[in-house]
Amino acid sequence: MTTEIATSGYRRLEQLYEVNKLFNAFASVDDTVGKVLQVVAATLPLESALLVQATIASHTEITVWMCNDSAPARLLAARVRAVALYAYLVGARSIEALDLRVRAGSATLPAPRDRRISSESRRFIMIPLVLARGMVFGALQLEAASDLDRDDVEFVSALAGQLAIALDRDRTRRHDVVRRREAQLSQARYESIIDRLDSAFVWEADLESHRLSYVSGQVERICGFSCRECLDQRNWWQSHAHPDDRDLLDQSFARALSERGNRRFDHRVIASNKTIVWLRTSVRLADVPGETPRFQGLSYDITAAKAEQRRMQEQVSLASAVMTHLEEGTLAVDLDGSITFINDAATRLLRCSGDGTLGKGAVDIVRVVNRDGEVLACPLALAMRTGAVARSDDHLILRPNGSRFRASYTAAAIRCEGDVAGAVLVFRDITERNATRASS
């Protein structure tokens, strides 16, 4: 008997060694665990084996291995028992909460030669699969063909310990694969979104050399250079910056680094076709723990906006030149009623200084009164409020010094893209004209 026990113990050690080799070369649950069970069945005849484990997809998977001659009712009873015990181990609210998925293992267990069962409870054993952190992530249930003794329980416990390590290692590997795949998909989605920006490109650059380490695809549409051309150049920014903007570029990089804030500036680059492209660039220092600090930037193409701004400035300059030389007084206000423009004729009529008038409220410079001296509603405010043109030849304009003159005036709202943006007042002194009419 002693010799048989020693021989059995030696065979069990050999089996554990063989099992350890299989787990170290873990391929999949179905393949590896199936082979392990074939080894175990050589000394521990099995009716069935069930592996229950929580998956990274947040459901519970049960893999079932059985003998060729296992009765369906017996297999169902083993499965019901395994599910109930596992639900208890993990503290599940209900069986339904486990979201069970059952699949059959491809390996078949050898049919036991001798079935000797005295107690149903003594032929089942379930060992929880526990991580070092104490979390149960699975369980292994074996149904033996005969009653289990103490040596069997110790053997199965050792087997379950190796299985837990192998499964945890495989789970970690698959988690890493999923995370890498998700990170790659996330990066691909990000780059896809960035590359679809109509008028902007994003980029990253080295702190010292300013060499680009990343640039989105829209740089080619905006500046005419491919991403590879931009990345291959030692300092793409300085190589293609407008000569007058190179210092501005260096200063902006330096301030973004020293102040660790976001710097925004307008500058020019020379495109591949030698045309000038205006960019509005925002650059900031990206200093993420564990990563190399770098510049991150976003550059918008504002060439069209700059051209429109230049055109409008030319129009404003032309309009200002025309209005400045008009004999009629002209002044404009913004929505707050502050004077934004006044021509020479207006300053002469109102006897005030042009430079000292800009920015002041129109009600302090020009007021309209009736013949009795009563102050009337400001025609500029009236035009902005109603949108209607206000005209009169019957009122007087009160100067800042208190004197007044008979005036003919027109006030109208100034509109920008359909919205009221201010108002303009055009007026002239008609005192002499009225006196001439009266004498005649």
Q: How far is CA 244 from CA 119, 276, 304, in A?
A: 94, 12, 20
**Nearest Cα to Cα of residue 118 among 136, 144, 139, 94:** 144
Q: Measure the CA–CA gap between 123 and 121, rounded to whole angstroms.
A: 6
Cβ atoms of 307 and 281 closer than 8 Å = no
3-class SS of residue 187? helix
Q: Which amino acid is at 174?
A: R
User: Per 3-state DSSP, what percentage of the chain is helix, strand, and coil (rounded to 5)?
Assistant: 45, 30, 25
**167, 63 contact by CB (below 8 A):** no
| Residues 282-288: contacts with CB under 8 Å, at least 24 apart | 283/252, 283/253, 283/256, 284/256, 285/207, 285/256, 285/257, 285/260, 286/204, 287/260
**What CATH homologous superfamily does 197-307 map to?**
PAS domain (3.30.450.20)
Task: For the chain, 440 residues long, give each residue's pLDDT as a single digit of tens.
Answer: 454 445 566 788 888 889 889 988 888 888 999 999 999 988 888 989 999 998 766 789 999 999 888 888 888 889 999 999 999 888 888 888 888 999 999 988 888 877 666 666 678 899 899 876 677 889 999 998 888 888 888 888 888 888 888 888 888 887 777 677 766 766 666 566 555 667 889 899 999 899 999 998 889 999 999 999 999 999 999 999 999 999 999 999 999 988 887 889 999 999 999 999 999 999 998 887 877 889 999 999 999 888 887 877 776 666 666 665 567 899 999 999 999 888 888 999 999 887 788 889 999 999 999 988 899 999 999 999 998 999 999 999 999 999 999 999 999 998 877 788 899 999 999 988 877 776 65
Taking Cα atoms as reference points, which of 267, 269, 273 lies closest to residue 224? 273
According to CATH, the topology of domain 325-439 is: Beta-Lactamase (3.30.450)
Assigned CATH topology for domain 2-177: Beta-Lactamase (3.30.450)
Distance, CA of 126 to chain centre: 46
CA distance 430 to 360: 26
CB 279 within 8 A of CB 219: no
Write out the residue limits of the CATH 3.30.450.20 domain(s) in the chain: 197-307, 325-439
pLDDT of residue 226: 94
Q: CA 9, CA 423: separation in Å to the nearest integer? A: 103
pLDDT (0 to 100) of residue 191: 60
Q: Which amino acid is at 18?
A: E
* pTM for this model (two decimals): 0.44
Place of tokens 């008009």: 326
Q: Structure tokens of 75?
A: 């297999």
Q: In what order do the strands lie in the sheet with 136-144?
A: 100-104, 60-66, 46-54, 136-144, 124-130
Length of the chain: 440
- CA end-to-end span of the chain: 151
**290 vs 249: CA distance, rounded Å:** 28
Q: Return residue ranges of the chain for CATH 3.30.450.40.
A: 2-177
Whole-angstrom CA distances from 9 to 6, 427, 428 are 5, 116, 120
- Angle CA(68)–CA(71)–CA(75) in degrees, nearest 5? 95
Rounded to the nearest 10 degrees, what angle do helices 150-195 and 2-24 cross at?
0
